[in-house]
Amino acid sequence: MGGLIAETAEAQHFSFTPPENFVADTLNSGSTNWFNKEAGSVIQITETTGTAFNTFKENFNEEQLTNNNLVIKEKKPAGPALLYICSYRTMAADGSRDVEFTRVIFFTGNANAVVMAVATIPAMAEPVLLEPIIQSFVKDLIIR
């Protein structure tokens, strides 16, 4: 995996440039994670080889999201890819309040691989971060 110091990831089947203010996790070699500490947000990308994206897409069931305690807020058109905007709630670390997060889940790939990009942001950061994250997944996650 190259380019992580420049905050760009290049793996065997994809390359990705994160939105502004997301910093690569350079402490973990081979990691495809980016953090925006000021916004309490993270982007993670995983790749599964040996599976055709079209096969994955035909067999994907939204219950795979809802069974993981996600509420699907919106399914957005993204060309041949799948793009979901979901939410979930959790308790603050100090137990004082309920906190809502937004999770953007993007599936794409080709005949040889499925790539899943996931961004988790506090719901209150949605007005600032949601569109840049969606655009980075749609335009800056390049499948080779």
Per-residue pLDDT tens over the stretch 15-68 = 899 999 999 887 766 668 999 999 999 999 999 889 999 999 999 999 999 999
Which CATH architecture describes the domain 34-129? 2-Layer Sandwich (3.30)
Over the stretch 99-126, which tens digit does the pLDDT of each residue have?
899 999 999 999 999 999 999 999 999 9
Q: What is the pTM of this model?
A: 0.87
Give the pLDDT confidence score for residue 91 in this predicted structure.
Answer: 82
3-state secondary structure the chain: CECCCCCCEECCCEEECCCCCCEECCCCCCCCEEEEHHHCEEEEEEEEECCCHHHHHHHCCCHHHHCCCCEEEEEEEECEEEEEEEEEEEECCCCCCEEEEEEEEEEEECCCEEEEEEEEEEHHHHHHHHHHHHHHHHHHEEEC
pLDDT tens track for 56-106: 999 999 999 999 999 999 999 898 999 999 999 988 778 788 889 999 999
Using 50, 70 and 90 to split pLDDT, how confident is the model at 9?
Answer: low
